Amino acid sequence: MTQSERFLDVKDLKVDYMTLDGPFRAVKGVDLHINRGEVLGLAGESGCGKSTIAYALMRLHRPPAFIAGGDITVDGEDVLAFDEETLAQWRWSKVSLVFQSAMNALNPVLTIFEQFRDVYHRHTGKSTAEARARAVELMELVGIDPVRLDDYPHQLSGGMRQRVVLANALILEPQMIIMDEPTTALDVVVQREILQEIAGLQKKFGFSILFITHDLALMSQFADRIAIMLQGEIVEVNSAHEILHNPQHDYTKKLWDAMPSFEDAEGVA
């Protein structure tokens, strides 16, 4: 870490979902921070609230979900105080989001270029020609031949689609990217390619990353710090090294134990 200044600061964040039985608290007073240029991993199993946090940071929740309390400060600004128009401009230019399923994140009836153009035009008001130039630049950046800009999402492989989504998240040079299971739906080799790509881009541009996954091994290869989440609460935060070599919380240990690794021979008859 070159700077220790906090880019993202979350204090006592609470997110509720309204249910027939009253509010269900999915995120129970979470504190976390991400420094500039830092990669923070957020790990936990399905339903623990990790994606809910990602949505809350971007203020994407719609009823029945709502933020019940807490503070979110990004680059010194109070995100929860933004009005709709400020929020719309702020999203994507300051903080962007990469979802798990690249197919669902892309509009199937628009070409790759049209998806780039939409975001670019909405935020910068620049011409189609300028958007084209930026899109070509980004495609080259993520290693896809720019001729594919005129293809539709279904004409690309899963790995390429995830690269396109990544390129799209970079279009306005955000200072932080939230990645919600960006590699989970991919094959191991493609997963590795995408992870390398993300790591390379992060090093090149120095943005912060909130990296959400349930795969602790994958996360340890890449994150600076790791937060472990269980039932709406963060139970342990430490450097990736300490989480791997010196886990403190029982749940962290349990997560490690649950993963079969090559060292396990007990299962082989």
Partner 1 sequence: MTDQPYLEVKGVSKTYTLKTIFSGSKQVKALQDISFKLGRGEALALVGESGSGKSTCGRAIAGMFDIDAGDILVNGKSITSARNSKEKRENARKVQMVFQDPFASLNPTHTVRHHLARPLLLHKRVPDGKSLEQEVIRTLEDVELDPSVMLDKYPHELSGGQRQRINLARALAVGAELIIADEPTSMLDVSIRRSILNLMNRLKKDRGITFLYITHDLATAHYLTENTAVMFGGRIVEYGPSDAIVRDPQHPYSQLLLSSVPNAHTRINADFEHARDFSKFADKVRKETAESTAGLKEIAAGRYVRAA
Q: Which residues bind partner 1 (CB under 8 A)?
A: 45-46, 143, 158, 187-193, 195-197, 199-204, 214-218, 220-222, 244, 254-255, 257-262, 264-265, 267-269
Nearest to 240 by CA among 12, 43, 53: 43
Q: 22-28 — which CB contacts under 8 Å span 24+ positions?
A: 23/68, 25/68, 25/232, 26/52, 26/65, 26/232, 27/52, 27/53, 27/56, 27/232, 28/231, 28/232, 28/233
Closest contact distance (angstroms) between CB of 221 and partner 1 is 5
DSSP code for 27: E
Which residue in this structure is represented by tokens 């963060």? 234
Q: Cβ closer to partner 1: 129 or 258?
A: 258
Q: Cβ closer to partner 1: 58 or 170?
A: 170
What are the two backbone dihedrals, phi and then psi, of residue 240, each rounded to the nearest 5 degrees? -55, -40
Closest contact distance (angstroms) between CB of 169 and partner 1 is 16
Q: Cβ closer to partner 1: 79 or 153?
A: 153
Closest contact distance (angstroms) between CB of 119 and partner 1 is 23
Beta-carbon count within 10 A of 263 CB: 6
Closest contact distance (angstroms) between CB of 17 and partner 1 is 16
| Largest pairwise CA distance in the chain | 65
Closest contact distance (angstroms) between CB of 100 and partner 1 is 12
Q: Cβ closer to partner 1: 67 or 212?
A: 212
Q: Cβ closer to partner 1: 87 or 141?
A: 141
